[in-house]
Structure 1
């Protein structure tokens, strides 16, 4: 009993530390400037106000939300399609240099993304894709090493007999992939989709570098630009952060099982 009480106490402290920043976001978003400076950060402002949220929603912020949703949808669709094709080729098709090419591709996961930002920007500049949707999506829409690795490992766990039986019946590689393999890959596809949605929605550095106009601005960049030269309006920043947080909370509420499964697949497989 003592060990169990100690365990739950440690878990409660860890949960509080994890949730506390989000609590500050909510409390600050419903405070006025006077309440922000006159009360402790962890205490609510009384009476609470929704003026900060109304001000954000009355401006261009809904436009940035739509931009972010569009970017997330396109990146997720591209990841699911192109990553699946690449992973199936690496897992099932036989061609010279397959394993060497795969591990060289996966080795790029060890390179921090910040290192490749400047080369990517120079490439997009030469292609005249700066401040365009094409430049925003191009580096990631065709798949990522992590996604290909995840799907390849899942493909390799599927019985080879199913694929061989389909080929005996006259099915080609594309038919085998679409009609036999993909229905069995729903857990892995769901995992990849959730990971892509979360990472795309929270993407900041590349959109900040490649975009500059309101037509392509996403919410992370929009929240960062609320910092003015003479100070920071924390109320508006927290209101924007709260609005941006709501879709991710909804994703967590409705797809808890898939998120847990994504941790299991990515951590153990």
Structure 2
């Protein structure tokens, strides 16, 4: 009976892997086919012959997908840097500095996680429009550039676990609050900071709703909006759409391959700490 249970577990895991990886395999296979091959063959059949025409059209044709990738990289890089800096400072203040109403302010700030993102879209849009930032780079970035409640919470809990003796020793040596943060807290918090870096990169790379609302035209649209626009722009040319999704997947896949050990560690930190 034990081998039957083991077989059932493996079959269940195999089915889960197929359901999870199937869409990615379909996207990659379709990206290397011509429109004729896609229409005449099975969706999961091997491309014969392989073609790079879809990628060439995306990067050099009127789709301007290369520009969308550049915009996304720029936005993601700036938002990752800004969110980490502000979240680290906010978490340090909530974890180590003493001021009136600290815990009340923290829990009120954390409670904003309970507010659905869709609720603040209209107010944000009106604010950006009144400021003349609609369809601009700063309109994409500013609403997400400051501290994240989720990141602040994780960092605060991690900072509170750092021994107070280290902080006291640094203060006896004449270190001020900023020195303690930069020279003691941040170096000891590299695992959680790396975790938040990965989470922020993925979330900003996949952000769709706000860029879709605040941008128009091709100038500042990221890859998510550019991919969605291809379906109407090219009359359902699925080989081109799948090539776009494959290109959008490459940076995240590279990130996973480079930081796979850190990703596993990040799952442990965010789940159990």
Report the TM-score, using the length of structure 2 for normalisation.
Answer: 0.94
Residue 31 of structure 2: aligned partner = 29
After TM superposition, the runs of 4+ consecutive aligned structure 1 residues lying more than 6 A away are none
- 8 A Cα contact 1:106 1:146, kept in partner: yes
* 1:102 maps onto 2:106 in alignment: yes
Q: Which stretch shifts more, 220-229 or 241-250? A: 220-229
Counterpart-to-counterpart distance in 1, 2:216 and 2:66: 17
How many angstroms does 1:7 deviate by?
2.4
- The 5-angstrom pairing of residues 119-130 of structure 1 reads 119-130=123-134
How many angstroms does 1:157 deviate by?
1.1
Counterpart-to-counterpart distance in 2, 1:65 and 1:192: 22
Q: Which stretch shifts more, 41-50 or 199-208? A: 41-50
Residue in structure 2 matching 1:87, options 84, 91, 96: 91
Residue in structure 2 matching 1:186, options 187, 190, 195: 190
In the superposition, relative to structure 1, how do residues 102 and 25 fare at CA in structure 2: closer, same or farther (>3 Å)? same
Per-residue displacement from partner, 1:224-255 (whole Å, max 9, x unpaired)? 11122783111111001111111110001110
Structure 2 residue runs of 5 or longer lacking an equivalent are none
Per-residue displacement from partner, 1:194-221 (whole Å, max 9, x unpaired)? 0011111111111111112433111111
Counterpart-to-counterpart distance in 2, 1:251 and 1:230: 30
Structure 1 residue runs of 5 or longer lacking an equivalent are none
Residue 50 of structure 1: aligned partner = 52
- The 5-angstrom pairing of residues 14-25 of structure 1 reads 14-25=16-27
Report the TM-score, using the length of structure 1 for normalisation.
Answer: 0.96
Q: Which stretch shifts more, 180-189 or 111-120? A: 111-120
Pairs aligned (count): 269
Residue 78 of structure 1: aligned partner = 82
Residue 199 of structure 1: aligned partner = 203
Residue 178 of structure 2: aligned partner = 174
* 1:154 maps onto 2:161 in alignment: no
Counterpart-to-counterpart distance in 1, 2:28 and 2:82: 34
In the superposition, relative to structure 1, how do residues 230 and 172 fare at CA in structure 2: closer, same or farther (>3 Å)? closer
Residue 11 of structure 1: aligned partner = 13
How many angstroms does 1:160 deviate by?
1.0
Q: Which stretch shifts more, 111-120 or 230-239? A: 230-239
SS at match of 1:225: helix
Residue 136 of structure 1: aligned partner = 140
Counterpart-to-counterpart distance in 2, 1:230 and 1:181: 52
- 8 A Cα contact 1:39 1:45, kept in partner: no
SS at match of 1:26: helix
